[in-house]
Amino acid sequence: MASRGVVPSRSILIWSALICVLATVASLVGLLESGPYEQETRNWARQAKGQDVGNLLAVGALAISGYYYSKGSFRASLVWVGTLLYFLYAYIVYSLAVHFNDLFLVYVTILGLTSYALVFSIDRLRSYDATFPGSPVRKLAGYTLAAIGGLFALLWLSEVVPAAIQREVPQSVVDAGLWVNPIHVIDLAVVLPAFVITGYMTVRGDRSGMFFVGPWLVFSALMGASIVAAMILMSADGFDNTFPPMMMVSVVVTASLYASRRYLQRVEDPVVTRDADAD
């Protein structure tokens, strides 16, 4: 018997529930207790707390999308993947760039769960013959994602390149009290090239691009929200020059939400045989 929708793995709700519970605990402890970030600089501690706020928003997104994905929604599965990409990014940073604390094993567990959830889900989801949006909406999503990738690449390079030429440490690294900024590493090596490549492939109508553009836009909105939260916390704590970046990232969040909503609304569930076995 054929119908529209995906045949989800039975593990979807388990993956989602474990990540949601652990991320909620870690984020609330980070926000409410002084212990986790007591060894960090004020700058890096405020950024970490902003990430904690973003994590709580992502928990809601993962719980809701995971539920509807488990009910067979392909559109929800794309939001679920994008939220997992956010958690993967966030907990790489927590695991490697926050001093060892009582939550270390929680950070590593979330990172592991997120990694394997993505590994075991993406190939399965890409095998479905879903219908993606036509040219106007597809190009809007592709150009938006590529523009965000290019914008942030230029922003990071404008800090990193002069510092490298002058053989100095970038000021953001000094302020955070780190050897290198992990955000620079992950963004310049992986995320921002993925934005530009996926955006280009989406505009060209490539199915791989059209699959990943929705998740990356969801990731962009969630990550931007955590940056805005960090800027608000830093401003409240007396840091200067937080308003311009907060406004810029707010525009990015708005654009990401608009483009992802337009795009995902027009994704149609694939036709599948409902008696297929779930894992």
Model pLDDT for residues 8-36, shown as the tens digit of each residue = 777 888 989 999 999 999 999 999 998 89
Q: Which residues contact 52 (CB under 8 A, 6 or more apart)?
A: 26, 27, 28, 30, 31
Q: What is the pLDDT of residue 81?
A: 97
> Nearest to residue 214, comparing CAs of 119, 87, 77, 111?
77
H helices of 166-242, where? 171-176, 182-186, 192-204, 207-236
Q: What is the pLDDT of residue 2?
A: 57
Q: What is the pLDDT of residue 242?
A: 87
Helix (H) or strand (E) holding 16, with range, is helix 12-32
Q: What is the pLDDT of residues 135-183, one digit of tens each?
A: 899 999 999 999 999 999 999 999 999 999 999 999 989 999 999 999 9
Choice between 275 and 88, residue whose per-residue pLDDT is larger = 88
Answer whether 7's CB lies under 8 Å from 276's CB: yes
CB atoms within 10 A of CB 171: 10
Average pLDDT over residues 40-50: 95
Q: What is the pLDDT of residue 275?
A: 52
Confidence check: pLDDT of 274 > 90: no
CA atoms in the 13 A half-sphere facing the CB of 142 = 23
Residue 273: exposure state from Cβ atoms within 10 A (0-12, 13-18, ≥19): exposed
Average pLDDT over residues 30-50: 94
Q: What is the pLDDT of residue 240?
A: 85
273 forms bridges with which residues in the sheet? 2
Q: To the nearest 10°, the Cα dihedral for 22, 23, 26, 27?
A: -150
Helix (H) or strand (E) holding 181, with range, is none
Q: What is the pLDDT of residue 241?
A: 84
Under DSSP, the state recorded for 220 is H
Q: What is the pLDDT of residue 247?
A: 94
Q: What is the pLDDT of residue 276?
A: 47
Query: Two tokens at 242?
Result: 């937080």
Q: What is the pLDDT of residues 65-122, one digit of tens each?
A: 999 999 999 999 999 999 999 999 999 999 999 999 999 999 999 999 999 999 999 9
Q: What is the pLDDT of residues 249-262, one digit of tens each?
A: 999 999 999 999 99
Answer whether 184's CB lies under 8 Å from 92's CB: no
